[in-house]
């Protein structure tokens, strides 16, 4: 199934009451592709990631992951809404990093990173710790492994959160404005980790970001969302230097002015 | 006024009765704490049960404990539930305080940020693991003081068991008084016992609170 996209949104619709947040969204993401999702506030960027992480149910369409339906399952040749077990099995391929870190406050950095591998993957504690130690080293936090989240800076917490997600060996990583809650001087260290991830791992990555500079150099593709639709997308160099759509132009101009 | 010889004569008997009181307190509280947690968890796991649990909790909290004790002990048998006085009384106390404890747990759960649940989902933790490893350890420190207060309150209500003739402290003291027509010594001793135990438990609860806080909240 290597020819199928890693992620496919097939006419996915999401509503909150009368508000249609995503309107029949079609989006394919290739294996190993790094996609930057940009767009104004309320355009549905977070919703896209949350649906893929199964934190939000969808109201129409199908999401496929690694060639297999995530939101649905096949029964007698027909797609029916997926049950819990199916969702859990397919969801194992996806990891997510949140804007507000969401580390477990009563656990050390190390404990945060071994909780899921030991309880979900059934890994031996020793093995899980060895792997977590490697990941914490990769994010530059070997020295802080026994610290609790409240003893870490925002940038450090976010790097632990990245290590924690990677410990589950996901094929797809979702990043939702992971630097937005950080003081400006801490943004760099987190982006540096993400950059290294892009180089060292064969990960498919989707990131919602307002860091246009980073999106431009890092992503293989930029997707501009506007009112629940992809308004324009393309290879970042041309997308950012020569946007075709008037809305994209307006948005980029506004972001640039804001600095 | 105060008869020391009589005091020493009744002390051993009161000591035994005190053990019954403490047993009733501890068993009652274990029922209250676990049943209360079960109610709060059920409410979250099966939202459809929320209203019936609310009704149950309101019903229990709006009627006197004494009536509930009588109900289980005297009305139970007409439904085929025949319990000895101690069991019936402790069960009533346990269920009564379970209603209060369930609200404490509920407030505890409500205070957990949504992000903790979402991170657990993103890490693919099972619902059970999420409760056991992520949610419950975080709700315990903030609810220890409230649960502790209910432990002391429950303890102070055990004399109600004398109403169905459980031989706990109150009932024993009453019998002594009616046999010798001296109430001063037994009642004073019982009062002092409750005072001392309440003070000790309050101190213990405070110590536990500090210890937990030091260990868990960083
Ligand atoms: N739980 C919810 N209930 C109702 N409406 C919601 C809910 N979550 C999101 N919305 C609405 O859905 C729309 C899209 O929200 P979303 O969070 O995806 O936007 P976004 O593009 O991530 O914006 P931002 O840049 O501000 O993070 C918004 O109009 C928002 O108000
Ligand atoms: Mg958002």
Same domain, residue pair A143 and A177? no
Residue B73, φ and ψ in degrees, nearest 5 = -75, -45
Q: Which amino acid residue places its CA nearest to atom 7 of ligand 1?
A: A16
Q: Which range has the top average pLDDT, A95-99, A189-193, B167-171, B200-204?
A: A95-99
Q: Which of A107, A113, A148, A176 to mutate against chain B (most B CBs within 10 Å)? A: A107
Among all residues of chain A, which has the CA nearest to that of B140? A106
Is A41 in a helix, a strand, or coil? Answer: coil
Selecting from A91, A102, A164 the residue whose C-beta is nearest the C-beta of B116 gives: A102
- Is the pLDDT confidence value at B107 over 70? yes
User: What count of Cα atoms within 13 Å lies in the side-chain half-sphere of residue B194?
Assistant: 19
Q: What average pLDDT does range A55-76 have in this prediction?
A: 93
CA A46 to ligand 2 centroid distance, Å: 4
Shortest Cα distance, chain B CAs vs residue A53, angstroms? 6
- According to the model, what pLDDT value does residue A257 have? 82
Q: What average pLDDT does range A225-237 have in this prediction?
A: 91
Selecting from B113, B115, B125 the residue whose C-beta is nearest the C-beta of A120 gives: B125
Q: What average pLDDT does range B50-72 have in this prediction?
A: 95
Among all residues of chain A, which has the CA nearest to that of B139? A106
Q: What average pLDDT does range B21-49 have in this prediction?
A: 93
Domain of residue B206 covers 4-217
- According to the model, what pLDDT value does residue B218 have? 52
The total of structural domains in chain B comes to 1
Among all residues of chain B, which has the CA nearest to that of A114? B123
Collect all residues with Cβ–Cβ distance below 8 Å to A82 and sequence separation of at least 6. Answer: A69, A70, A71, A72, A73, A90
A209 — pLDDT class (breaks 50, 70, 90): very high
Q: Which atom of ligand 1 is nearest to the CA of A45?
A: 21
Domain of residue A138 covers 104-169
- Residues whose beta carbon lies within 6 Å of some atom of ligand 1: A 16, 21, 39, 41-47
Q: Is A125 on the interface with B (CB under 8 A)?
A: no
Q: What average pLDDT does range B29-48 have in this prediction?
A: 93
Q: Is B138 on the interface with A (CB under 8 A)?
A: yes
- Is the pLDDT confidence value at A101 over 70? yes
ipTM: 0.93
- According to the model, what pLDDT value does residue A242 have? 86
- Share of residues in chain A with pLDDT > 90 (%): 76
B3 — pLDDT class (breaks 50, 70, 90): confident
DSSP string, B138-171: HHHHHHHHHHHHHHHHHHHHGGGGGGGT--SHHH
Q: What average pLDDT does range A174-200 have in this prediction?
A: 90
Same domain, residue pair A156 and A176? no
The total of structural domains in chain A comes to 2
The CA distance from A110 to A135, in Å, is 10
**Lowest-pLDDT choice from A90-94, B2-6, B64-68:** B2-6
- Is the pLDDT confidence value at B213 over 90? no
Mutate to test the pocket of ligand 1, among A20, A21, A53 (most ligand atoms within 8 A of CB): A21
- Is the pLDDT confidence value at B215 over 80? no
- According to the model, what pLDDT value does residue B44 have? 86
**CATH, residue B172:** 1.10.3720.10
Same domain, residue pair A59 and A178? yes
Shortest Cα distance, chain A CAs vs residue B113, angstroms? 9
The CA distance from A126 to A110, in Å, is 12
Q: What average pLDDT does range B140-152 have in this prediction?
A: 91
Cβ contact A109:A150 at 8 Å: no
- According to the model, what pLDDT value does residue B216 have? 64
- Is the pLDDT confidence value at A18 over 60? yes
- Tens digit of pLDDT for each residue in A143-186? 999 999 999 999 999 999 999 999 999 999 999 999 988 898 89
Q: Is A55 on the interface with B (CB under 8 A)?
A: yes
Same domain, residue pair A181 and A120? no
- According to the model, what pLDDT value does residue A156 have? 95
Q: Which amino acid residue places its CA nearest to atom 22 of ligand 1?
A: A46
In a domain, A2, yes or no: no
Mean pLDDT of chain A, nearest integer: 92
Contacts of A101 in chain B (CB under 8 A): 115
Q: Which atom of ligand 1 is nearest to the CA of A14?
A: 12
Mutate to test the pocket of ligand 1, among A44, A51, A59, A228 (most ligand atoms within 8 A of CB): A44
Q: What average pLDDT does range B67-90 have in this prediction?
A: 93
Kindly report the pTM of this predicted structure: 0.86
Same domain, residue pair A164 and A176? no
Alpha helices in A53-177 (DSSP H): 84-91, 109-119, 125-138, 154-166
- Tens digit of pLDDT for each residue in A80-93? 999 999 999 999 99
Same domain, residue pair A84 and A120? no
In a domain, A58, yes or no: yes
Last residue of a domain, one of A141, A169, A197: A169
């Amino acid at each position: 199934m290597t020819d199928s996209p890693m992620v496919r949104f097939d006419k996915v619709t999401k509503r909150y009451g009368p508000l249609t947040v995503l309107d029949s969204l079609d989006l394919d993401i290739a294996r190993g592709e790094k996609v930057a999702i940009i767009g104004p506030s309320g355009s549905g960027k977070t919703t896209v990631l949350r649906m893929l992480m199964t934190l939000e149910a969808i109201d129409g369409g199908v999401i496929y992951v690694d060639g297999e339906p995530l939101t649905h399952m096949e029964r007698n040749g027909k797609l029916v809404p997926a049950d819990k077990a199916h969702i859990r099995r397919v969801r194992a391929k996806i990891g997510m990093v949140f804007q507000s870190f969401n580390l477990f406050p009563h656990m050390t950095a190390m404990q945060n990173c071994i909780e899921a591998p030991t309880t979900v993957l059934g890994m031996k504690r020793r093995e899980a710790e060895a792997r977590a130690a490697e990941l914490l080293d990769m994010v530059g936090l070997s020295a802080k492994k026994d610290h609790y989240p409240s003893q870490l800076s925002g940038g450090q917490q976010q790097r632990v959160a990245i290590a924690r997600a990677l410990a589950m060996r996901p094929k797809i990583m979702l990043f939702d404005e992971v630097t937005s809650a950080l003081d400006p001087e801490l943004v760099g260290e987190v982006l540096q980790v993400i950059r290294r991830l892009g180089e060292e791992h064969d990960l498919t990555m989707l990131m919602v970001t307002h860091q246009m500079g980073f999106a431009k150099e890092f992503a293989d593709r930029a997707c501009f969302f506007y009112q629940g639709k992809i308004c324009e997308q393309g290879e970042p160099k041309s997308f950012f230097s020569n946007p075709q759509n008037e809305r994209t132009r307006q948005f980029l101009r506004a972001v640039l002015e804001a600095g | 006024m105060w008869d020391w010889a009589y005091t020493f004569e009744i002390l051993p008997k009161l000591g035994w009765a005190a053990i019954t009181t403490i047993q009733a307190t501890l068993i009652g509280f274990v029922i209250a704490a676990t049943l209360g947690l079960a109610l709060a968890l059920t409410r979250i796991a099966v939202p459809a049960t929320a209203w019936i649990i609310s009704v149950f909790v309101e019903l229990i909290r709006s009627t006197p404990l004494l009536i509930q004790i009588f109900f289980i002990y005297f009305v139970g048998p007409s439904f085929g539930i025949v319990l000895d006085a101690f069991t019936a009384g402790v069960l009533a106390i346990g269920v009564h305080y379970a209603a209060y404890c369930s609200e404490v747990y509920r407030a505890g759960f409500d205070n957990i940020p949504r992000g903790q649940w979402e991170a657990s989902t993103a890490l693919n933790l099972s619902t059970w693991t999420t409760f056991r490893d992520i949610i419950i350890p975080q709700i315990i420190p903030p609810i220890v003081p409230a649960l502790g207060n209910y432990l002391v309150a429950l303890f102070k209500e055990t004399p109600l068991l004398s109403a169905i003739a459980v031989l706990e402290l109150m009932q024993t003291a009453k019998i002594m008084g009616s046999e010798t027509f001296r109430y001063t010594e037994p009642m004073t001793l019982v009062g002092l016992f409750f005072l001392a135990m309440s003070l000790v438990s309050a101190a213990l609860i405070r110590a536990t609170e500090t210890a937990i806080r030091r260990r868990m909240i960083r």
